[in-house]
Structure 1
Amino acid sequence: MGIKPSYIKTIGTELLKQQRDYFSGSFDENKVQLGASAVIGSKRVRNRIAGYITRKINTKRRS
């Protein structure tokens, strides 16, 4: 897919630190949770952050 912008990584990492229990390995669930826990003006940015969080959770699960 390519390299993620630093703001996606920064926001995703901070949210994982603060609210780890609210996120899961499911992209759709993370999308809904982001809508409830963070104010993100753009649907595209929200989806990219949800994808980043989902990927981080799933790669930690495999390790």
Structure 2
Amino acid sequence: MSTTELAWFKSSYSGDSSGDCVEVATAPTTVHVRDSKNTTGPQLALSPVTWSEFVAFASRS
């Protein structure tokens, strides 16, 4: 699956005017993360386990 075919959604923690905008798209074996202001820029591709660990860590901060 190409990243252009993914259904991206904006993080609920990204504010409308703060400029900190993260988008996430899930595929069966990968979680993709990108900057919504630069959709053709760099992206992260993480395993679902790694994504879950990151979210758990970030929620403790």
Same fold (TM over 0.5): no
Q: Which has the higher contact order (CA 8 A, sep 6+)?
A: 1
Relative to the length of structure 1, the TM-score reads: 0.29
Structure 1 or 2: larger helix share? 1
Q: By percentage of residues, which structure has more strand?
A: 2
